[in-house]
Amino acid sequence: MDHAWFLRTVLLLFALPGGWFKPVITPDAPHLVILKGGQLELRCHDDAEASMVQWLREKGRKIDGELKEDGASVIFLTSTQIQHMGRYTCENTQTGENSSIYVYVKDLRNAFVQSMVNGLLVREGGDCTIPCLVTDPAVNHLSLLTCAGTALPAGLTYITHPQRGITIRNVSKAFDGCYICAGQMDDKPVKSSHYNLDVRPVGRCLGFLEMVLTAEHEIHGEESDLDPTPPTLHIPKPTHLHPLIPKPTPKPTHLHPLIPKPTPKPTNLHP
C-alpha cells in the first residue's frame, strides 16, 4: 500500500514539468515520540530551486525553538513539554506545498494529556470531540466510558483518534454527563481525566446559526485540551440573532428619491 503510493508519487514528480517537490522533513516518519523533557529536532528543506520553507502548527500555535539554516528550517528543543505535542507542518512558501509530522510527547505518568478544561458545552445534534489525546501511540484500544462505570447512554456512537481524541456523533440531551477516555498500554488499562458534557438544546429558529456553530465546534474540537472551550460554543440568546435576520423590505417611501419626478404639467407653459 505504502509502496504503491510511493511509486505513484515518484511517477507524478517526474511527470510534472520542472519537477514539483514537497518539503522534506527529517526524520522521515509519520510521527515521532519524544520523552517529556527530552530533545526534539525537526528539519525541513525543499529541493525546489531557491525555495523557502517554514514550520506551522495547528490553529497558528506558537513555534518554539525555530532556527533557519541556509534554506532549511529547524525546530530544536532541548526540553520538550506537553504543549509541544501536535502536528507540525512544513510549508514551501513559494509553492504552497506542505508535508507534516505528528509529535507525541510521552509522559510516563499520564497516558492521556491532562486536561485543564473538563466542561464541554455541546449543541444538541452536533458532534462533540473530547480532547483526550494520547501522549504515546502505544496506547491502544481507545474507548469511551462513563465516569460512574455505567453503560453508555442508548444510541451514543463515537469514533476514536489518538491524535484528536474521541468524537461523539449526533449529541442528544440524553448524553449529558461525565465521561472518561480509556485505553490500554502494555496490556494495562489507562484512563484520561473526567470530562463533563453539558448538552444544550437548539431552538428551531436557530437553524442557520446552529450550522455555523457546529462547523466551528468541529474545527475547535480538534484542538488539544490546552485550549479552553471556545467561546463560540456559547448558546446565543435570541436577541443576538437579530443582526443576522434580514431586515424587512424597506417601505416604499424609502424609494422616493429614486423614482423620477412626474413630468411637469404643460399648464405651466401658458402665460
Ligand X SMILES: *[C@@H]1O[C@H](CO)[C@@H](O)[C@H](O)[C@H]1NC(C)=O
Using CB under 6 A, which of 9, 93, 143, 170 touches ligand X? 170
**Three-state secondary-structure class, residue 177:** strand
User: By CB under 6 A, how many residues form the interface with ligand X?
Assistant: 6
Least Å distance, CB 224 to ligand X, is 16
Using CB under 6 A, which of 95, 110, 146, 172 touches ligand X? 172
Are the CB atoms for 45 and 81 separated by under 8 Å? no
Least Å distance, CB 138 to ligand X, is 27
Per-position x/- string for 5-44, each x denoting binding to ligand X as judged by CB under 6 A, each - no binding: ----------------------------------------
Least Å distance, CB 230 to ligand X, is 19
Residues 98-137 that bind ligand X (CB under 6 A): 98
Closest to ligand X by CB, 191 or 200: 200
Between CA 193 and CA 34 the distance in angstroms is 22
Least Å distance, CB 51 to ligand X, is 15
**Three-state secondary-structure class, residue 232:** helix
Strand pairing class (195-200; 177-185):
antiparallel
What are the backbone dihedrals phi and psi of residue 216, each rounded to the nearest 5 degrees, phi first?
A: -65, -40
> For 167, which DSSP code?
E
Per-position x/- string for 73-92, each x denoting binding to ligand X as judged by CB under 6 A, each - no binding: ----------------x-x-
Between CA 225 and CA 232 the distance in angstroms is 16
Does residue 56 bind ligand X (CB under 6 A)?
yes
Are the CB atoms for 166 and 144 separated by under 8 Å? yes
Q: Is the dihedral of CA 172, 177, 183, 188 positive or negative?
A: negative
Per-position x/- string for 219-248, each x denoting binding to ligand X as judged by CB under 6 A, each - no binding: ------------------------------
User: Within 13 Å, how many C-alpha atoms sit on residue 199's CB side?
Assistant: 18
Closest to ligand X by CB, 111 or 168: 168
Between CA 103 and CA 110 the distance in angstroms is 16
- The contact set with ligand X (CB under 6 A) reads 56, 89, 91, 98, 170, 172
